[in-house]
Amino acid sequence: MPGLEDLYREIILDHYRSPRNRGELPPPAVRTEGHNPLCGDEIQVYLAVQNGFVSDVKISGQGCSISQSSASMMSAAVKGKPIAEVRSIVRCFKSMMTIEEDSETEAQDEKVKLGDLEALQGVVKFPVRIKCATLAWNTLLQGLDEATA
């Protein structure tokens, strides 16, 4: 479906050219860093959690269009959501990227709609790029673990 691939490509490029939630959050926000040494991608995730919700999220860093677009799309997808829903979104996204997850959680995650995040599904055709697409997501999980510890 060339039309759909073009649309997905445009979504990815839009997030790369005009990243959402770019910047930093001051303490007491949690700051986590992720690096992909294979291609040099770097991401910082700033996370504010209040009353069980991701009240704010900011991203910074540098890297390829896949890593930076994925970070932008991730920040837009999780901002303002309850932590449990954020974890479900992460599981669904990583599952879409063919990273195996716990089968017990799949049933509860079926309700999650990924929307624009599905634009990154084509990355699975290029296994070396999966780490680029999941870098921000793994960094987000680190931040959630720190914020809820």
Specify the CATH number for the domain of residue 105. 3.90.1010.10
Query: Which tokens belong to 18?
Result: 């005009």
Q: Which domain holds residue 132?
A: 2-147
Each residue's pLDDT tens digit, 91-123:
999 999 975 555 555 545 656 789 889 999 989
pLDDT score recorded for residue 142: 98
Beta bridge mates, 47 = 30, 57
Whether the Cβ atoms of residue 63 and residue 40 lie closer than 8 Å to each other: yes
Please state, for a pLDDT cut of 90, what percent of the chain lies above it.
Answer: 77
| Residue 96 Cα distances to 53, 100, 120, 130, angstroms | 24, 9, 9, 10
Number of domains into which the chain is organized: 1
